[in-house]
Amino acid sequence: MLDAFTYEAPAQRVVFGRGKLSEVGEEVRRLGRSRALVLSTLPHEANARRLSDQLGPLAVGVFSGAVMHTPVEVTERALREVQDRRADCIVSLGGGSTTGLGKAIALQTGLDQVVIPTTYAGSEATPILGQTDGGRKTTLKDKAVLPEVVIYDVDLTLTLPPKLSASSGLNAMAHAVEALYAPEGNPVTSMLAEQGIAALACALPSIVANPTGIGARTDALFGAWACGTCLGTVGMSLHHKLCHVLGGTFDLPHAETHAIILPYAVAYNAAAAPEAMARIAHALSMNDAALGIFRLARKLGLPSGLHAIGLQEAALDQAADLAVASPYPNPAPLDRTRIRSLLQAAWKGEAPSL
């Protein structure tokens, strides 16, 4: 029998398909806006300029200074551009780093955002913003940062290199996995989670083999939307905490860290969340959730352990301390000794044990 539940649907318009970049102007007008500031990272500035040209008089400029983890000093520079150019909306073209900057601007100005994601990170689907100030990363949840419009253009993902596609795809999958054992879990989010995991598990190996295959790219981007929506609607647990600690304190790369940690966090929670495990395994078409994700990551050629992305073994004690420093919901009790063992296994890259 279905349990009672609460589900709050995000107030967001989603446009999905091939060639949808051409509809950005229409979406800006639909919001009643006419002075868009286009955001990107520096390597993607040329794409942002092309988009600005395409928007014509609807664009008032390009700010290409977005970087990973949304440092407040970058946001301040971008806010000056917003003011100088009297922008009345933000158009963010890029991955989670660019989306993060757009959200930080929206938080302070209330401007509408049109986001065109080019990775599978999923930030565009959430009211969550992570920012860094003086090297410290903090996260907030506020409806003001949820983008009004998301335009998923499959064509833009064709250039995402296979390795980045794989790690970004597992970053997305992590949102859905933890949604399946979240305390606020509900049937709508769980349905999306299973679909998101299944879409990515099927699409990512095809993308690694053939990065320009439209079918797999379409499925992966749909999976990224589904998984991102999960992240936006329920709370996350141990896996996201560990990745936050490893990224924030030891500056490890965001998506790869998620890709490495996920099977171990799942194994840690396996006995405490059997129903979620069955649903994850089913979505992966595997017998076991943790081993299924571990094998998928290996098949995709992802880094084999935290050692391979630059973490020193000596950092594991501090990481374990930080992971248990403040309480948060998790199916299995937060036990420092078990978490230290989890980190050791993830550092070496050995198969997760239950």
Binding footprint of ligand NAD on the chain (CB under 6 A): 41, 43-44, 68-69, 94-98, 100, 118-119, 121-123, 126, 128-130, 156-157, 159-160, 164, 168, 231, 254-255
SS3 239: helix
Closest CA to 12 of 151, 148, 111: 148
| Nearest approach, Cβ of residue 132 and ligand NAD (Å) | 9
Residue 28 Rama label (left phi>0; alpha psi -120 to 50; beta): alpha
SS3 1: coil
Closest CA to 200 of 303, 273, 292: 292
Closest CA to 98 of 53, 58, 42, 28: 42
Q: Which is nearer to ligand NAD, 159 or 285 (CB)?
A: 159
Q: Which is nearer to ligand NAD, 86 or 141 (CB)?
A: 141
Comparing every residue's Cβ against ligand NAD, the nearest one is: 96
Q: Which is nearer to ligand NAD, 48 or 277 (CB)?
A: 48
| Nearest approach, Cβ of residue 57 and ligand NAD (Å) | 27
**287 vs 280: CA distance, rounded Å:** 10
Q: Which is nearer to ligand NAD, 128 or 290 (CB)?
A: 128
Q: Which is nearer to ligand NAD, 100 or 196 (CB)?
A: 100
**Cβ atoms 265, 242 nearer than 8 A:** yes
Q: Which is nearer to ligand NAD, 15 or 140 (CB)?
A: 140
Distances, alpha carbon 138 to alpha carbons 41, 244, 333, in Å = 21, 9, 24
| Nearest approach, Cβ of residue 333 and ligand NAD (Å) | 26
| Nearest approach, Cβ of residue 125 and ligand NAD (Å) | 8
| Nearest approach, Cβ of residue 278 and ligand NAD (Å) | 26
| Nearest approach, Cβ of residue 26 and ligand NAD (Å) | 22
Q: For tokens 């606020």, name the residue.
A: 184
Closest CA to 179 of 165, 197, 167: 197
Q: Which is nearer to ligand NAD, 36 or 121 (CB)?
A: 121
| Nearest approach, Cβ of residue 106 and ligand NAD (Å) | 12
Q: Which helix (H) or strand (E) holds 76?
A: helix 72-84
SS3 91: strand
How would you classify the pairing of strands 36-41 and 89-94?
Answer: parallel
**Cβ atoms 324, 336 nearer than 8 A:** yes
Q: Which is nearer to ligand NAD, 115 or 277 (CB)?
A: 115
Q: Which is nearer to ligand NAD, 142 or 321 (CB)?
A: 142
Tokens, residue 129: 């913003």
Q: Which is nearer to ligand NAD, 168 or 190 (CB)?
A: 168
Q: Which helix (H) or strand (E) holds 64?
A: strand 59-66
**24 vs 22: CA distance, rounded Å:** 6
Closest CA to 12 of 235, 197, 232, 234: 232
| Nearest approach, Cβ of residue 273 and ligand NAD (Å) | 22
**210 vs 158: CA distance, rounded Å:** 10
| Nearest approach, Cβ of residue 155 and ligand NAD (Å) | 9
| Nearest approach, Cβ of residue 203 and ligand NAD (Å) | 15
